[in-house]
Structure 1
Amino acid sequence: MKALELKIPPVALAVLFALAMWLLAQLTPSLAVPLLWRQVLAGIFTVTGIVIALSGVLAFRRANTTVDPRVPQQSSSLVIRGIYRYSRNPMYLGFLLLLLALACYLMNVAAIALLPLFVLYMNRFQIAPEERFLLQKFGADYQAYCERVRRWL
């Protein structure tokens, strides 16, 4: 399973999950659940997801470090300011919120069921390998940061 670690860019993974959610919703219309205000809820999650993800990107840009999560060895600094005071993975949290927005819009149980799979995949194949590298590179500073700030929220 190590072969999957850091291989799929998280943005591509989010797009794949979005496509799978849409496909499942089309294939299982009987699993649709009516939700009042679904467009409003989807809009709120969309805006929130975009703001959080972009805040993470901007923090990395300000620190002059790579935003490509497939190459954590290119990290030049430990980013712990801004949005990173609240989440160690705001870009991934933003993607999750965008998928949640789609789930609200689709309102299909099968599509919603993919959200925990996204989190599990990200934790195992993206975040855990990143954390191993960051701990090795930044040592006690990263360990202290992990003790202060949660992985997702």
Structure 2
Amino acid sequence: DSFLLKWTTFLSTSLPFPLRLLGGLFLVVFGGYMTWVSHETVFSEEGLHGLIDWGVYGLCRHPMYLGVVLLFLGLSITTFSIASLLISATLFILYDRFTVFEEEMLVEALGEEYRDYQRRVPKWFPRFW
């Protein structure tokens, strides 16, 4: 987008590129790792049966989606483009709306066990306190 929509990158001069690259690369690597670990957990032998509330799923209820959003956000930070930041924000909003329906199905399938999981584990951002 910085080639086609040059006017959307005016923020890039407010932060030196090496800092944007380091921050963006951290989020890309962390987001990719989180997505991969989530995927491996879901499709592991233990993950194929019932509620998964261990590993990254013990930190937040939607780590796979969060990983994808962090990956896109990392790319957005590297370019500091308003267009790519809007795409990342839109992706987060769409995932957030999708999870409402997904969680309704999980409550229907798993009942009180999933409701308890919802009370214990935050939807998006882990609590480290």
Match of 1:152 in 2: 124
Match of 1:116 in 2: 89
8 Å Cα contact 2:25/2:75 also seen in 1: no
Q: Residue 80 of structure 2 is aligned with which of 107, 131, 145? A: 107
8 Å Cα contact 2:31/2:69 also seen in 1: yes
Counterpart CA distance in 1 for 2:79 and 2:89 is 16
Flag structure 2 segments of 5+ consecutive residues without an equivalent.
none
Most deviating of 56-65 and 42-51: 56-65
Deviations 1:84-131 (A, max 9, x none): 11110000000001101110122112221222211111122x211210
Task: Give the secondary-structure state (helix, strand or coil) at the position aligned to 1:26.
Answer: coil
1:137 aligns with 2:109: yes
Report the CA distance between 1:45 and its aligned residue.
Answer: 0.6
Q: Residue 85 of structure 1 is aligned with which of 32, 52, 58? A: 58
Counterpart CA distance in 2 for 1:117 and 1:61 is 28
Counterpart CA distance in 1 for 2:47 and 2:34 is 19
1:49 aligns with 2:28: no
Deviating above 4 A after TM superposition, structure 1's stretches of 4 or more consecutive aligned residues are none
Counterpart CA distance in 1 for 2:30 and 2:38 is 13
Over the residues paired in the alignment, what is the CA RMSD in angstroms? 1.4
Q: TM-score, normalised by structure 2?
A: 0.84
Q: Residue 68 of structure 2 is aligned with which of 88, 95, 105? A: 95
Report the CA distance between 1:26 and its aligned residue.
Answer: 3.3
Counterpart CA distance in 2 for 1:26 and 1:151 is 36
State the percentage of identical aligned residues: 24
Most deviating of 76-85 and 140-149: 76-85
